[in-house]
Amino acid sequence: MESLAFETVIRNGMIAIPEQYRERFQEPFRIIVHLEPLTEKQGTDASFNAARISTKGFKFNRDEANERESFL
């Protein structure tokens, strides 16, 4: 199975497949639509600004971080 991700529009119930992917869709295929509204910034020039947090005095415990709670 191959996964492709691209942004497109739906017009009159038709999903526009970008030209560079069209030859891959010659055989019947399954499609899953993930609706994620684009903000204006995402649609043009999106940038990522990292969040900063202070970890001074923080002690990481791998066993504690990987603990799993039993729900049974």
Q: Is residue 54 part of a domain?
A: no
> CB neighbours (10 Å) of residue 17?
14
Convert the pLDDT of each residue in 52-72 to its tens digit: 778 888 888 888 888 876 655
How high is the pLDDT of residue 63? 87
| pLDDT tier at 8, thresholds 50, 70, 90 | confident
Task: Say which residues have a Cβ less than 8 Å from residue 18's Cβ, sequence separation at least 6.
Answer: 6, 8
Convert the pLDDT of each residue in 13-30 to its tens digit: 888 888 888 888 788 888
Q: CA 53, CA 55: separation in Å to the nearest integer?
A: 6
Q: Is residue 32 part of a domain?
A: yes
How high is the pLDDT of residue 60? 83
Count of structural domains within the chain: 1
Domain that holds residue 19: 1-44
Q: Is residue 62 part of a domain?
A: no
Distances (CA, A) of 16 to 7, 20, 48: 9, 12, 28
Specify the DSSP element, H or E, that contains 41: helix 40-43
Q: Is residue 63 part of a domain?
A: no
Tokens of 16: 């526009």
